[in-house]
Structure formats: C-alpha cells, structure tokens
A and B are shown apart, each in its own frame.
Chain A
C-alpha cells in the first residue's frame, strides 16, 4: 500500500528555557498508508494532540520532517499550508464544531467553495455526502436543530466532501452516547471499507480501539506500540 503520510524523526519541544522545556514528541517515526483505519491512543500528555497537530500542518515540528505523498509540509508557508489542509486533510473535531450560522448543507459546501468547485458540482457533492452519512433531507437544518450524533455526521460529511487523502479525527465519539457512538463508528468503517477513506483517530474510546485496524500507543512523546489488529 502507498504511504500517504510519513513522519521522520519528528520532535516537538515546548518552552524556551531548560527549566520549562517540555519534550512533547521525541523523534517519532510514523507511516500512514492509504486506506488505513488507525487509532492513536495513550494517556493524557502522551503527545497525541501534538502529533495530530503536526501531521495536519497546524503546528511545526522542532525537528524532523512530515511528508504528504513525498512533499515536506514543514517547508510550506501559511497559504500553502492552508491549501494543503483544504485539499488533503479532513477534520472531525470532538465537539462537532460546525459553523452555527450555516445550515448543514452550507457547512458541508463551505469546503468546496474554498476549493473553488463550481456551484453545480458543489450541490451534487453536498447531497451525495449527506446521503453517505445518512442525513438525506436534513441539509436545510441548522446545527442547533440537529442531535449531537447528527451534527457529528455533518462534520464527517464536511471532512469527506473535499475528497481528502486522510481524515484526522479527535475523539469523534467522546461527546456521543454509546448508541450514537457505535452508529458513527459503523458509518466511518463503512466509508473506510467502501470508499477507501483513510482515518486516523486520537481516542480513549474502547469501541474505536477495538474496531481500529491499526493501534498506535504513545507514551511520553514516543511510540511505544504500533500493532495491526
């Protein structure tokens, strides 16, 4: 399988003086292949957030390289990084984080607008994405008119619609009850299996840990276990 992401000897330090210096990541090497369904786990402060930030270009590593399809994103400027995230990465956040003033459709469409997709194609792709996440007919609803599970589905549709190479999800089931969490996980598994969408999660949810095809365990900024399930 082709590598989508590669982290090479990635380190991240926070703080400027020796007294307050924190080594959030210590020479991490990681490869993510196309179509993987990977969960990153570990205790709080183990470096999960920092690793996802660096993989998405939201933060720069202190040392090391992050390659997307062979291109080093650590060398990109602000606009290049924005475009990189727009075109290659889908985000799903813990607390949905839809824009409350836009309808479900508009939230999904937003990505396509900034990608410069023509209007007709946008409308078609938005409807398709809504169907894929099981929200057909709910596109005109504002986020506050949807349940938590439905909002998270919209967030996944938003992440999906731009055809990213990878979807990074931060504890996507953390705010959902077990029934909705299970349904969401099933949906993501289906997208992974049918459309080949690559998912990387940071999670504490045993459900995701059990279903993940690859489980990476971080501890004190180092990968201590990387296993295929």
Chain B
C-alpha cells in the first residue's frame, strides 16, 4: 500500500477535528470503562481468592475421602504421620496446618451454642491462616495452652463472656461412648468479619482436641499454602497425583468452595456482558461517525472512483481511516484509564465490610492493571472497529459513482 493512501486515510480523520475528538473521546471512554471494569473485577477476584485462601482455607486441603461429604468425625486421615512427612519435605509449600474438626457445644453461665471446634498447632496455623491476626482481644494460643480457647466476637457476645472467662466444651469422642467435657478459659477473641467464623468457630490446641476426641494423633484436615501463586494450577495437579483418592484426597480451594468459584465465574460472565454492551456502544458510535463522515464525502468518493480508483483501494483508504480513528481513541482511552484507573488502583473502593459470596470485603478493593488490558482490549477495539466499519463502507461503495457525482 502506498504511503499516500495511508496519508489520505489519516488526514481524512483530522478533517473535522472536533468530531474526531468527540468520537475518539466517546470510544476512549468506552475503552477506559472496559479496562477499569476488568481491572476492578480482577482486583476483587484477587482479593476474594486471597482472602479465602489466606484467612483460613489455604490453597488446598487434604481430608479423608468421606470427611467433607459426611462431616462425620470418624473419617480421619489414614497415616497422618506419612502425609505430614511428605508435606514437611516439600519446599514448594509455604506452610501447612494439621487440624481436627468436630461439632461441640460451648456453654457459659449465660448460655450455650453449637460450634465447630478446630484443634490446631498454633505455630503452624499462624503461618497458614489469619486467626492470629484477627485475634483482636486477648492473645493468640501458644503451644502449651492446654485449657485455653479462642472464640469469635459474636459468639462471645452471645455467651456474654470476655477474656479470662470460663466456658465448658462438650463433644462426642470418635469412638462413641461418654461425652467428653472440659473447662476452658478464653484466651483470645477473634473477629473475622464473617458470620460463619465469628458465630460458630472456636480454636483449641490440637493435642487437647485429640485428647477430647479420644484419638491420639488423629487429623481431619491438612490445610496447605504454596509459595508460587502464579502456577497454582500446576501445583494443584501435582498434589492431585501426590495424594490420589486412596484413603485421603487433596482438593483445591475451588473444589472446597464451589459457591465462591461459581460467583467468580459469574463475575467473568458479567464482565463478558459488560464488554458486549460497551462493544455495542462503541460500535454504534463508530458506525454513526463513519457513516456521517463518509456520507458527506460521497461526492469525493465518486470522484475517486471516476478517476479510476478501484473499490478495493477505496476500501483500504477508509479502513486506514477507521484504524486511525481507533488508534486515536486508544490513546485517549489509555490516558483516561491511567488517570482514573490509577486513582482506583491507588485509593481503591471501600465496601465497608459487605460480604459477597460468603467473603467479607474488609479492605478496599483496588483496581489491578495488567498488560493484557492494554494489549487485548485495544487490539480488540481495532479489530472491532474494522469489522464494524464494513457496514458504512459497504453502504458508500454500493452507490454507483454516477449517482455520487450527479454531474458529468
């Protein structure tokens, strides 16, 4: 293609500077909206995943194959020592936490509540979850705290207890028989901001929990956290193979929290809808502008055809024009995105602790920039603009030159 055809297309774009600027601004705002929405959704997804995995769940967990399906305490992990040996030898793991999980009744002088009682190794748990961080009153458990317990803020409120108060835990041992009942003193009160945690969870030392359950060394769950967050999918595959479903199995956070995974997938679908709507908006703007710009120049196109320009060449000239318009819009859109998106990335949006898909949005959600946003979307915009230009071009090119000219 000769340079003059490119010149012709580009200079045509700037013939009506105000219209070009307004159109580029409209398309640029569309692009900015798309990038900001994507960046914001990405920020929210990252936050939710990080929140879920960091707060308590870990990136994955190992259980007896039937434990999560039945919630029965008898389904403990076979040979937990061997599992732990494998885990402790794996440098890819940032940490792991062995846990027992059982239903229990917690009672104070003011009332009683059914809870999920988790036995933990305080040091291991502090690497894996944020229980220590969220223990805002009192102190976190220590290795030798045999008769101390951590409970949620709302549970403490219901039981009308505070730091140092006594509660009684009652639970059914794994092997059946008499109920196991012990007195504990509240060492810490945590606040996750999640109703499920703050109302219904309590933590004691693992050894003490095993003792109450009547099963020395038993483990219901190993929660795991990996170092490499970029290649989690590969690590999940590796762990699936490492712990095949023979007695115990590894499940990643997506499998453990299908509702959250669905919510995130729903977010992707919402993003696709948003992109489609913005594409329609941008498309309508491009079609309208090009149609106006081309139609008012139909005489000129008639002249070009009359002097021997093939329709194919004219098509290229107009496509160059569309691409120039798209590039101008991308520049404007990128500048707007950097300004407004930058503000969202810096200040974030505070949701004030609203819970979405069971995840409390405790911290502001920050927009996340990615290279993809500045490559894929602009590229998509150019392709889309070219495609959408076909209609006005076709409309113009189908006018016979003799009709475009009206003279001669």
Contacts and interface: CB of A to CB of B under 8 A. Distances in A.
Interface in B365-408: 400-402, 405, 407-408
A58 B402 contact: yes
18 contacts: A53-B408, A56-B306, A58-B401, A78-B310, A79-B310, A82-B308, A86-B309, A90-B307, A91-B408, A97-B300, A101-B7, A101-B8, A101-B12, A102-B4, A102-B7, A109-B4, A114-B313, A170-B407
A177 interface: no
A226 to B, nearest CB: 20
Interface string A83-105: 11111011101100101111000
Contacts of B299: 97
A111 B11 CA distance: 18
Interface residues of A, number: 37
B19 interface: no
Contact of B407 (A93, A100, A106, A110): A93
Contacts of A110: 4, 307
Given A82-B310, A99-B8, A59 B400 contact: yes
Given A101-B12, A101-B15, A106-B7, A85 B408 contact: no
A94 B401 CA distance: 16
Given A58-B401, A82-B305, A91-B307, A49 B408 contact: yes
Interface string A104-141: 00100111011100000000000000000000000000
A209 interface: no
A113 B316 CA distance: 14
A202 interface: yes
A203 to B, nearest CB: 12
A90 B308 CA distance: 9
A58 B308 contact: no
Interface string B280-306: 000000000000000000011001111
A68 interface: no
Contacts of B160: none
Nearest to A171: B407
Interface of B: 2, 4-5, 7-8, 11-12, 15, 299-300, 303-311, 313, 400-402, 405, 407-408
Contact of B306 (A87, A91, A102, A171): A91
Given A56-B306, A113-B2, A114-B308, A93 B8 contact: no
Contacts of A89: 308
A58 B408 contact: yes
B405 A58 contact: yes
Contacts of B407: 49, 93-94, 170-171
Contacts of B313: 114
A91 to B, nearest CB: 5
A229 to B, nearest CB: 23
Given A97-B300, A99-B300, A111 B307 contact: yes
A158 interface: yes
Interface in A157-199: 158, 162, 168, 170-171
A104 to B, nearest CB: 13
B12 A83 contact: no
The listed residue with most B CB atoms (<10 A of its CB), out of A59, A168, A171, is A59
A99 B7 CA distance: 12
A88 B243 CA distance: 81
Given A49-B408, A91-B303, 11 more contacts: A59-B402, A82-B305, A86-B308, A91-B408, A93-B407, A101-B11, A102-B8, A111-B307, A113-B5, A114-B310, A168-B408
Contacts of A67: none
A4 interface: no
B8 A85 contact: no
A30 interface: no
B3 to A, nearest CB: 9
A85 B313 CA distance: 15
Given A91-B303, A94-B407, A113 B4 contact: yes
Instruction: Pick the 6 closest A-B CB pairs, nearest first.
Output: A86-B308, A101-B11, A58-B402, A85-B308, A170-B408, A59-B402
A52 interface: yes
Contacts of A78: 310-311
Given A58-B306, A111-B308, A168-B408, A106 B402 contact: no
A36 B355 CA distance: 88
A94 B8 CA distance: 23
A109 B2 CA distance: 11
A151 to B, nearest CB: 13
B54 to A, nearest CB: 59
Contact of A93 (B12, B15, B303, B311): B303
Given A106-B4, A109-B4, A58 B307 contact: no
Contact of A82 (B4, B12, B311, B402): B311
A82 B309 CA distance: 6
A115 B310 CA distance: 11
Contacts of A113: 2, 4-5
